Structure 1
Amino acid sequence: MSPIRPVWIETVSWHTSLVMQIEAIRLMKRTKYQEMAIIDTVDFGRALVLDGFIQSTYADEPYYHEPLVHPAMVAHGSPARVLILGGGEGAALREALKYKSVREVVMVDIDGDVVKAAKEHLPAMHQGAFDDPRAKVLIMDGQAYVEEALARGEKFDVVIMDLTDPYGPEIAQGLYSAQFLGKLKALLAQGGIVVTQAGDSFFFEEEYSNVLRNFASVFKYVAEYNLWIPSFGYAVNFIAGSDWVDPRALSAEEVDKRLAQQGVSTLFYSGRVHTALMNFPIYKKFRG
């Protein structure tokens, strides 16, 4: 028999939870914006938890961060400037910096305590990305940064929203609105694309559908896809929007060609995975 260990109760939905054994709590604190914990779990290794929702774990974070970042980056083809909103653990930053064409990645996270904790406690996630000379990390409100960037006339090729869920903390909810997405569209250079994680369409169908409608009201091309994340206990949804490029139009061969040209190596994402993601049904509840 395995030794008795304390457990962490992970919130899957308001009515469902996932119980996992833990080995240690490395950090637990209330930041200015949210409850944060860094824990060591038996099955998933080290994990970042915000307001009761696991954000990333060592064991399965590539299943989240690679589909978040690469379909949009590959669809653009040759991104030079990338904006990441959120992404405090640095893993999305890590993936975006893999592209040879990238000259600058601006990462904006409102919670400096999360970024500080990630630098110290989550080295396998950021893998030194914070120290890359092409990375510009700003601790400020994402909406404020976008307003300032628009005023300066800045442009980005790819915008990645790696935020807490649409049904999560209030600090992120306004960033999924059609009004804010319109501002992100105005930030895009020609050929640009916006991508976000959009929570879960099975347990939070109404909230997910609202985000999807907002994208459809702003962008010409909208691609939705999802992937099961073991430590989340559900399939996380992603939505990409652009007026120029459509990730659904790429063949497996073209995706692999673009990854090779950019010198990108991945643990999970590939051309075959890309086409599978774009064609797999979205999880919704069947109504009996």
Structure 2
Amino acid sequence: MEDYIIGGIYVIEPTSPKLASLFKAKKIFVTEKTPYQEIMLAEIEDFGRALIIDNLIQSTERDEYIYHESLVHPAMVLHPNPRKVLIIGGGEGATLREVLKHKTVEEAVMVDIDEKVVEFSKKYLEYMHQGSFYDKRAKVIIMDGQKYVRESPDNYYDVVILDLTDPYAGEAAKPLYSEKFYREIHRILREDGVVVTQAGNSFYYREAYDYVYNNLSKVFPQVVEYWVWIPSFTYTCNFILGSKIYDPRKMSEEEVDKILSDRGVKTKFLNGKRFIGLLKLGIIKG
């Protein structure tokens, strides 16, 4: 029997305050410290190359597409003509990659506070960003996301995508999930704008999840929630989508597939059937 506990390097991935998983690292390629965090590129058994920040797995080669497609495409498909898109966070460039698949996009602004994460990603994570940083439609800004939103003009963006740290990651993360911040997002969105945020896990962190959902619901008239199992996170990741006018529950599988096809979007996970299925799953209460 293979020895899978003793020896080697392991990443401890917390699922909740009382539960964690062990991931065996085959190789550590590089580590760097920034003013904000520690970044690592490692090869993880069963998951391939992985971006690890402050000892927490952010994205892996094997399953990152599940997270990034689920975050990006429901909001992008819901908007009939997303030309200007804002991404807050998403330093590895994979969210930007998915946004740029939509040929309607004329401008995709990605704002990240940590320049070293972006430079690290450009240098080591080409397999993940796939050149998205260098697309002529992309604009990468190193800046605090809250500050950028506060200084943005009214009614400018069609879609805003919040690829943030979890709402329970610390006090610094909480303002990015506040009602005040969502009102600023509402202000910078056009009259038919759409916003989506990742919201951590609703099963283990119910209070934090409800905080996010309730705040978004106070600002946007159309709000839906959905979740996806991310193997390397060892839990389901929740997403909450808000819209000024569009209701994604009125879309059909065929309509979603046609939009993706017409825009030239190729995906591995998200299609019309899964889009509708995710909206029907519901959130575990209790």
TM tier relative to shorter chain:
over 0.9
1:106 paired with 2:122, answer no
Give the letter aligned to residue 8 of structure 1: V
Shift of 1:162: 0.3
SS of the residue corresponding to residue 79 of structure 1 reads coil
- Unaligned residue ranges in structure 2 (runs of 5+): none
Cα separation, 2, equivalents of 1:154 and 1:279 = 31
Shift of 1:30: 3.2
**Does the CA contact (< 8 Å) of 1:11 and 1:52 recur in 2?**
no
**Residue 244 (structure 1) aligns with:** 245
SS of the residue corresponding to residue 232 of structure 2 reads coil
**Does the CA contact (< 8 Å) of 1:235 and 1:283 recur in 2?**
no
| Larger displacement relative to structure 2 (208-217 or 111-120) | 111-120
**Residue 49 (structure 2) aligns with:** 46
Shift of 1:48: 1.4
SS of the residue corresponding to residue 200 of structure 1 reads coil
1:32 paired with 2:35, answer yes
Shift of 1:2: 4.2
Cα separation, 2, equivalents of 1:118 and 1:13 = 28
**Residue 128 (structure 1) aligns with:** 131
**Residue 268 (structure 2) aligns with:** 267
Superposed CA deviations along residues 83-115 of structure 1, whole A, max 9, x for unmatched, are: 000000000000000111100000000011111
**Residue 98 (structure 2) aligns with:** 95
Shift of 1:266: 0.4
1:253 paired with 2:254, answer yes
SS of the residue corresponding to residue 231 of structure 1 reads helix
| Larger displacement relative to structure 2 (139-148 or 170-179) | 170-179
**Residue 183 (structure 2) aligns with:** 182
**Residue 5 (structure 1) aligns with:** 8
RMSD: 1.4
Alignment of 1:89-238 (within 5 A): 89-150=92-153, 153=154, 155-238=156-239
- Summarize the Cα distance change of 1:27–1:13 in structure 2 as closer, same or farther, 3 Å threshold: farther
Superposed CA deviations along residues 169-219 of structure 1, whole A, max 9, x for unmatched, are: 444321110000000001111211000000000111110110000011111
Superposed CA deviations along residues 129-154 of structure 1, whole A, max 9, x for unmatched, are: 0000000000110011111113xx46
**Does the CA contact (< 8 Å) of 1:34 and 1:169 recur in 2?**
no
Cα separation, 2, equivalents of 1:276 and 1:182 = 29
Cα separation, 1, equivalents of 2:38 and 2:18 = 20
Cα separation, 2, equivalents of 1:32 and 1:174 = 20
SS of the residue corresponding to residue 40 of structure 2 reads strand
User: Aligned residue pairs: how many?
Assistant: 283
Per the normalisation by structure 2, the TM-score is 0.95
Per the normalisation by structure 1, the TM-score is 0.94
Cα separation, 2, equivalents of 1:38 and 1:201 = 28
Superposed CA deviations along residues 215-268 of structure 1, whole A, max 9, x for unmatched, are: 111110001000100000000000011111122221101100111111111011
Give the letter aligned to residue 175 of structure 1: L
**Does the CA contact (< 8 Å) of 2:87 and 2:111 recur in 1?**
yes
**Does the CA contact (< 8 Å) of 1:12 and 1:53 recur in 2?**
no
Cα separation, 2, equivalents of 1:102 and 1:141 = 24
**Does the CA contact (< 8 Å) of 2:89 and 2:113 recur in 1?**
yes
| Larger displacement relative to structure 2 (191-200 or 4-13) | 4-13
Cα separation, 2, equivalents of 1:216 and 1:241 = 8
Cα separation, 2, equivalents of 1:172 and 1:49 = 18
- Unaligned residue ranges in structure 1 (runs of 5+): none
